Chains A and B, each alone.
Chain A
């Protein structure tokens, strides 16, 4: 195998790994700041300038806490569950196209770890494995609240994955490919999917909120009913892993939304630039979109109260799935007409 390719991909993977963790850490800070702004407060401001060292302080605190395993817990599963959650959430970033190719050291470097031709399926598959982390964590804790929460979380994720999949199909129809790179490239310039698929976008967005287990769909945590749910019995860095995995998931979900609906790294007027300059601007554009989507996630979290469990299931099965289905059929028919498949 080409050594240079190996080096190039390893460096990219390392960067992505560090980036995901760094962004996840700073999301905790950002979340607290956003919450503070919306509640007319100031928020963390003592650790470092503007409280910017707060995530480090939080992480350090988690490291120095006692690593406790309850007596009646299934020790092996209890240990492995946060690992599953973390691994799975970090895996999805490999298929995301972070920008157009860069030319450096006489090579064309692709800013995507691997362009597998079923990229979006890969993401859907991996995120549904994520439910195992929660399920195993809740089961192994041997605590009724944890188990309740795990059951709720898994049923919620499974229900919302259906509507999510249906709205992804429309995007696949628009782009004509399952590869994320091709889906993004089909949205060249300002030709974004959100203009053609506003309904699909809303369905996908709502489902992403549910997949990330965030308010108003935080059935998995339910502070008021289930005492924070599946990580009730967890402490120290094991709980840190769960929280981190959640934030990495949020980052990935925002990235996927940006790629599928908000044009990925495309921006209006991108034809005036070329070469590495275009790549750099594109990466910045993609990250701006990601940050905006993350902000929207947090904005929703600090606005809405939690759904009741039956309302949640009703919304998922009786509203979102029919809407997504109708949307899919209409899209398919329109595309068939415009491409002249009925003639």
Chain B
């Protein structure tokens, strides 16, 4: 049968020819291969000193965006939670009170919004589902921890800081989703 990869090789137990049995031609061809590699640019980097650049489409830790006036975009519609294949997102909706207009953009907001980072598969479907441009995946890495419950990220970790906005333009302007 034709192999799928087309790289199948039949194993044979035939006697080695004289040239093969003195090993030297094979040794020399191997040595020329390693010598070629010796002059190649290393593929590794000096890690703590240098960090490898992420791909522009990298999908990492989520962010809940605020608008230009610093109001939360999320209206707790729940579409992200519905779209999530890993069922990692959960939220509670609440109604905006008088005097909270500077905090939330619309009348309804998420009083709690949690993403379980151990369940999340970073597929980005929540971002696609969001009609309010509230949730985005960023190039930040979810830090490690020894405790499982610390991986349920609440609004304290997800909502971006008013003075310290998270830049999401790099990923949004790359690939076929670009220039939307």
Contact = CB atoms under 8 A, between A and B. Distances in A.
* A and B: interacting chains: yes
Interface of A: 34, 36-42, 45, 202, 299-300, 302-304, 315, 319
Contacts of A38: 34-35, 37-38
Given A202-B24, A319-B22, A40 B40 contact: yes
Contacts of A202: 24
Contacts of A41: 42-44
A303 B42 contact: no
24 contacts: A34-B38, A36-B42, A37-B38, A37-B39, A38-B34, A38-B38, A39-B37, A40-B37, A40-B40, A40-B43, A40-B44, A41-B42, A41-B43, A41-B44, A42-B46, A45-B46, A202-B24, A299-B31, A299-B34, A300-B31, A303-B27, A303-B31, A303-B33, A304-B30
Nearest to A315: B23
A61 B38 CA distance: 29
Interface in B8-65: 21-24, 27, 30-31, 33-35, 37-46
Given A41-B44, A42-B46, A202-B24, 18 more contacts: A37-B38, A37-B42, A38-B34, A40-B40, A40-B43, A40-B44, A41-B43, A42-B44, A42-B45, A45-B46, A299-B35, A300-B27, A303-B30, A303-B31, A303-B33, A304-B27, A304-B30, A315-B23
A41 B40 CA distance: 9
B24 A40 contact: no
A41 B37 CA distance: 10
A307 B40 CA distance: 28
Centre residue among A38, A202, A299 by max chain B CB count within 10 A: A38
B24 A303 contact: no
Contacts, number: 42
A282 to B, nearest CB: 28
Centre residue among B27, B38, B40 by max chain A CB count within 10 A: B38
B116 to A, nearest CB: 37
Nearest to B40: A40
A41 B39 CA distance: 11
Contacts of A319: 21-22
B29 to A, nearest CB: 10
Contacts of A36: 42
B75 to A, nearest CB: 50
A304 B31 CA distance: 8
Contacts of B44: 40-42
User: 4 closest pairs, A vs B, by CB?
Assistant: A37-B38, A38-B34, A303-B34, A303-B30
Nearest to B36: A38
A302 B41 CA distance: 18
Nearest to B21: A319
Nearest to A34: B38
A34 B39 CA distance: 11
A299 B28 CA distance: 11
Centre residue among B31, B40, B43 by max chain A CB count within 10 A: B31
Contacts of B38: 34, 37-38
Nearest to B29: A303
A300 B22 CA distance: 16
B34 to A, nearest CB: 4
B31 A42 contact: no
A304 B21 CA distance: 15
Contacts of A34: 38
Contacts of A315: 23
Contacts of B31: 299-300, 303
Contacts of B39: 37
B34 A302 contact: yes
Contacts of B46: 42, 45
Nearest to A39: B37
B37 A37 contact: yes
Contacts of A39: 37
A302 B30 CA distance: 10
A32 to B, nearest CB: 13
Contacts of B34: 38, 299, 302-303
Interface in B125-176: none
A299 B30 CA distance: 10
Contacts of A304: 27, 30
B47 to A, nearest CB: 10
A315 B20 CA distance: 12
A42 B42 contact: yes
Contacts of B24: 202
A299 B38 CA distance: 10
A40 B22 CA distance: 29
A176 B38 CA distance: 41
A42 B24 CA distance: 29
